[in-house]
Amino acid sequence: MDIRVESVKFNADKKLLDFIDEKVGKLDKFFDAIIGIEVTLSLVPGPENKKASIRVKVPGSELIAERNCTTFEEAILTGVDVLKENLKKAKEKMRGV
């Protein structure tokens, strides 16, 4: 599974990249046919100014979770939680259950 991380208009430090690899890498436990994952980090105006967009490519579709939080770590964690549920549903749908 390929995990690509893009940080828009800033450089993400190694600690943040390692955190993303660790948390997002666990998604393959919920759906073993994941083709690739793209994580985009950006800064937006407002009190919750850290935005994380996680795009998971699976056969036949893409699942996307976008979250704005006060830290990138929190945005990644909440996005991963949403994607876990969506991957379970996609797997059941693929099986025809």
Give the residue extent of every domain in the chain: 2-95
Superfamily for domain range 2-95: Ribosome hibernation promotion factor-like (3.30.160.100)
Can you name the residues that pair with 40 across neighbouring β-strands?
A: 6, 53
Q: Which token pair is 17? A: 């990249």
Segment 14-29, tens digit of pLDDT: 999 999 999 999 999 9
Segment 41-95, tens digit of pLDDT: 999 998 999 999 999 999 888 999 999 999 999 999 999 999 999 999 988 888 7
Can you name the residues that pair with 54 across neighbouring β-strands?
A: 39, 65
This prediction has a pTM of 0.92
